[in-house]
Amino acid sequence: MGYILGFLLVLLIIYLLPTFLMFALGAYIIVVVVNLVRNFLYGPRPKQNRYTQSNQQERYNSTQSRPNQTRNSDIIDVEYTEHEVDDE
């Protein structure tokens, strides 16, 4: 009895497989068309690079920072020069 049910199940899967494949192909075509239209209207999306220069510096700073310790990027060296202002 189990052999007959298994055989019928295999026949059902083979019979319905083209239907599922057509649904999958249709969904894939819809996704591709939507992406093409979006790229045409809005331009290509910028690359999402995880390791840009600023991101690398930020990750380096976060690994180097310790409590109660000043990082070099936090120190601002400003020279004050006095100059005369003409009031006219």
Break the chain down into helix, strand, coil percent, rounded to 5. Answer: 65, 0, 35
| Cα separation, 43 vs 35, whole angstroms | 10
CB 65 within 8 A of CB 71: yes
| pLDDT at residue 46 in the model | 76
Predicted pLDDT at 1: 83
Q: Would the pTM count as exceeding 0.85?
A: no
What residues of the chain score a pLDDT lower than 70? 49-88
Q: How is 7-35 classified by DSSP, letter by letter?
A: HHHHHHHHHHHHHHHHHHHHHHHHHHHHH
Domain ranges in the chain are: 15-45
